[in-house]
A and B are shown apart, each in its own frame.
Chain A
Amino acid sequence: MSTETGRESRRSGALVSVMRWMENLSDTQYAYLLLIPVFVLLGVVALYPLLRTFELSLFAISADFSSTNFVGAGNYVELFTGGKNRYLPGGTTFLPEGFGLGALLNSALVVTIIFAVTSVLFETLIGLGQALILDQDFYGRRWIRAAIIIPWAVPVVIQGIIFFLMFNSNVGFLTPPLADLGLLAPTNTLNDTASATFIIIVADIWKTSAFMALLILAGLQSIDRGLYDVAKVAGATKWQQFKLITFPLILPTIGVAVLFRSVQAMRVYGIIDTVSSCTVVPSLSCMVVATFTTREGTSAAIAFVTAAIIGIVVMGLIAWQGEDAI
């Protein structure tokens, strides 16, 4: 230690004086010094944009940015009363204009919620199934675990192209068999809202189930194996073991996984843009992107509503699972 200090003191110049200054800081000062980079970055790329989005959402901004009028909550009021629908692409709406399937699927809010709920539900169920298989001991399971995360590494553009080609009604080889089952429209499949929404949900489940499986697997492996031996002695069936031991113990893990996935699913955009289009399958993020060059105030208001919905989902899940979840 003493040779170290001896060498340090022989150096001179700005670096040493900065080092010496840093050494004399208290713990608190030092802690904040090291946090400066992350604060600055988060401030510039996250906090500032959030506040600015809120500010922009209070203004009516014309398409050429020449006039900016303060309208207060006007954008939000118009959004929820249907006045903004004329700016949304392809006749889509923000809230549904009726309760028929067509009207529901034409609404960005409803489509986003349908997408999030359905895809997260199936991803959790399939992920749980995969995790239960991977939790068993068998030869080669490490390779299989690596293989199932492949879809996670597949870029959304490629995912989109692959699903586009598989389901395109002209060239896709999967459309005819599924259309025979009545699941998809036989022609113009990707321009049919119900079919395209279905395909996009399938694409998302394909990409993310394995990710869920890995998260749940981590929870499964932390369960004490002795519990199962006790259960076997007590004569519990496999189903009872799952219901009384496995499921309650992995519930917190599932909670966190569902939380992360729901936040992601609520902001779906890329897969819609690459497989179909935002006019066929409207999502909230789609509406933000579609309006931000022409109607900045509207775009900001939709963005802020999206953030608020995500905030509510997160708080709901945290309340359900308790704070330990995070």
Chain B
Amino acid sequence: MPTTEDNMLGSLLTALTAAAERSRSAGRTTSERIRRFETEQLTLHVLAATVVFLIVLPVLIAALVSTKRAGIVTSIGDLVPGGHALSNYRRALIGLEFWRFMLNSFVMSVAVVVGKLIVSLLAALVIVYYRFPYKNAVFLFILFTLLLPVPVRFVPLYRLTTELGMGNTFFAITVPYLASATTVFILRQHFLSIPASLVETAKVDGVGPLRFLWSVLIPMSRAVLVGVSVIMFVYTWNQYLWPLVIINAESLQVAQVGLNLLRGQASTGEVAWSMVMTGSILTLLPPLALLVLFRRQLLETFTIQQK
């Protein structure tokens, strides 16, 4: 009888918890408990602050160096901000045409996010709410692509794109990214937590799947949709290898490749290392801004991958 057993376990747990509560409050005076609580809080804050500091340190160093003239850091003492912030950022954006790289990256990322969202929403909707033959096979097939390493697709995809004459176009840096197993996976996990009875009711009421998606699922999943969009945007914005090989025209190139060009110039001494850091911080700003703006939705989405 599992139910009785559960009940017994439940009441045992409550009794023990109550006992624990009693023994804890009996053992110490209030001031003692507050003091203990305060030390614990202090330790936690110190630990957390150390972790955060170590994590953010490299980015802070980059931001510091981007305000200097030469950008050579040979000792800890060199890590003070310089006075060239404005001129560095102006030169990167206008003189080195970073505005164009960033615009290209931005358009590419938005296009990929919108396309991916539509395709993945349809797939997740079907996988969660419809019973049809080979359903599990379909889901496994989608998941399988998650495991395909990029280089495996690289060689044929390069051939295909160039043979179609799409080598140097906007098309080449968006369409290959539209299919995403990760997004389908996250959306599926989230939809699973929405009761199936909803879709039954909708079916009885004669509401079609697309209408159901639009007026029930999407409003119910706003946070996750925002979170997943941020993940997709950051992922696309950070793409480097594929745009590098498939795009030849510098006017079409994306920020990551532009940044690596700048890095190459710095290695040969054409520009100062501080300019590279300026470019890095510029390239880092959009993902960072999204992270700060949508941190709540993003954290919620990250935890979904688990369920």
Residues of A within 8 A of B (CB): 1, 22-23, 27-28, 30-32, 34-35, 37-38, 41-42, 44-50, 52-53, 56, 130, 133-134, 136, 138-142, 144-159, 161-163, 165-166, 171-173, 206, 210-211, 214-215, 217-219, 221-222, 226, 229-230, 232-233, 253, 256, 260, 263, 266-267, 269-270, 273-274, 284-285, 288-289, 292, 296, 299-300, 302-304, 306-307, 310-311, 314, 326
Interface of B with A (CB < 8 Å)?
A: 13-14, 16-17, 19-21, 23-24, 40-41, 44-45, 47-48, 51-52, 55-56, 58-59, 61-62, 65, 72-76, 78, 118-120, 122-123, 125-126, 130-133, 138, 141-143, 145-160, 175-176, 178-179, 181, 184, 205-206, 208-209, 234, 237-238, 240-241, 256, 259-260, 263, 273, 276-277, 280, 283-284, 287-288, 290-292, 295-296, 298-299, 302-303, 305-306
In the assembly, what is the distance between CA of A153 and CA of B299, in Å?
A: 13
Cβ contact within 8 Å between B237 and A155: yes
Nearest chain B residue, comparing its CB with the CB of A144? B48
Q: State whether A232 touches B55 (Cβ < 8 A).
A: no
Q: What chain A residues lie within 8 Å of B178 (beta carbons)?
A: 41, 45
Which of B78, B138, B240 sits near A173, CB closer than 8 Å?
Answer: B78
For residue B244, give the distance in angstroms from its CB to the closest CB of chain A: 10
A289 CA / B153 CA spacing, docked (Å): 11
A148 CB to nearest chain B CB (Å): 6
Return chain A residues, CB-CB under 8 Å to B181. 42
| Interface contact A1-B206, CB-CB below 8 Å | yes
Given known contacts A34-B126, A45-B157, A49-B156, A171 and B52 CB-to-CB distance under 8 angstroms: no
A314 vs B122: C-alpha distance in the bound complex, in angstroms?
27
Known contacts A46-B179, A50-B148; is A147 also within 8 Å of B234 by CB? no
Give chain B nearest CB distance to A211 CB in angstroms.
8
Q: Closest CB-CB distance, A107 to chain B, in whole Å? A: 17
For the complex, give the distance between the alpha carbons of A326 and B143 in Å. 10
- Are B209 and A34 within 8 A (Cβ)? yes
Check A226/B17 contact, CB under 8 A, given A138-B44, A171-B273: yes
Residues of A within 8 A of B298 (CB): 146, 149
Q: Knowing A157-B283, A303-B151 are in contact, say whether A148-B52 is a contact too (CB < 8 A).
A: yes
A310 CA to B78 CA, complexed, in Å: 44
Considering the complex, give the chain B residue whose CB is closest to the CB of A171: B72
> How far, in angstroms, from A149 to B301 measured CA to CA in the complex?
13
Complex Cα distance A201/B254, Å?
27
Residues of A within 8 A of B156 (CB): 48-49, 52-53, 56
Distance (whole angstroms) from the CB of B190 to the closest CB of chain A: 13
Other A-B pairs beyond A41-B119, A230-B20, 12, CB < 8 Å:
A42-B179, A48-B156, A50-B148, A133-B51, A145-B299, A150-B291, A153-B284, A154-B284, A157-B263, A157-B280, A162-B280, A233-B23
4 closest A-B pairs (Cβ-Cβ)? A41-B179, A218-B303, A52-B156, A146-B295
- Give 28 A-B contacts (CB < 8 Å), ordered by A residue: A28-B132, A34-B123, A37-B123, A38-B119, A45-B178, A46-B148, A49-B153, A50-B148, A52-B156, A53-B155, A130-B51, A134-B48, A139-B41, A141-B48, A144-B51, A150-B56, A150-B291, A155-B283, A161-B280, A171-B72, A173-B73, A173-B76, A219-B306, A230-B17, A267-B149, A267-B150, A292-B158, A314-B147
Nearest chain-B residue to A126 (Cβ)? Answer: B51
Contact B152 A53 (CB under 8 A): yes
Q: How many A-B residue pairs have CB under 8 A?
A: 280
Q: How far is the CA of A299 from the CA of B119 in the complex (A)?
A: 31
* A35 in contact with B123 (CB, 8 Å): yes
Residues of B within 8 A of A222 (CB): 306
Q: Cα distance A34–B306 when bound, in Å?
A: 26
Complex contact B20–A148 (CB within 8 A): no
Partner of A158, one of B14, B241, B280: B280
Interface contact A161-B259, CB-CB below 8 Å: yes
Contact (A23, B62) CB under 8 Å given A173-B73, A214-B299: no
Contact B138 A35 (CB under 8 A): yes
B136–chain A nearest beta-carbon distance, Å: 11
Taken together as a complex, chains A and B put the C-alpha atoms of A49 and B238 apart, in Å, by 23
Q: Are B122 and A38 in contact (CB under 8 A)?
A: yes
The answer to whether A158 touches B259, judged by C-beta atoms less than 8 angstroms apart, is yes
Contacts of B209 in A (CB 8 A): 30, 34
Q: Which residues of A lie under 8 Å from residue B17 when comparing CB positions?
A: 226, 229-230
Q: Which residues of B contact A226 (CB under 8 A)?
A: 13-14, 17
Pair A155/B284 contact, Cβ less than 8 Å: yes
How distant is the Cα of A285 from the Cα of B59 in the complex, in angstroms?
27
Residues of chain A within 8 A (CB-CB) of B65 are: 165
Contacts of A138 in B (CB 8 A): 41, 44-45, 48
In the assembled complex, the CB of B61 is this many whole angstroms from the nearest CB of chain A, namely: 7
In the complex, the answer to whether A157 meets B52 with C-beta atoms within 8 Å is no
B58 touches A163 (CB 8 A): yes
| Contact present for A147 and B56 (CB under 8 Å) | yes
| Complex: A96 Cα to B208 Cα, angstroms | 59
- Are A27 and B151 neighbours in the complex by a CB distance under 8 Å? no
A267 contacts B153, C-beta separation under 8 Å: no
Say whether B58 contacts A289, CB under 8 Å. Answer: no
Chain A residues in 8 Å Cβ range of B120:
38
A144-B52, A253-B306 given; A288·B58 CB < 8 A: no
Q: How far is the CA of A282 from the CA of B301 in the complex (A)?
A: 35
Question: For the complex, what is the distance from the CA of A8 to the CA of B130, rounded to whole Å?
Answer: 25
Contacts of A32 in B (CB 8 A): 132
Enumerate chain A residues within 8 angstroms of B74, measured Cβ to Cβ: 171, 173
Q: Which residues of B contact A232 (CB under 8 A)?
A: 20, 24
Q: Are B238 and A300 in contact (CB under 8 A)?
A: no
What B residues does A52 contact at CB under 8 A? Answer: 155-156, 159
- What is the minimal beta-carbon distance from A86 to any residue of chain B, in angstroms? 20
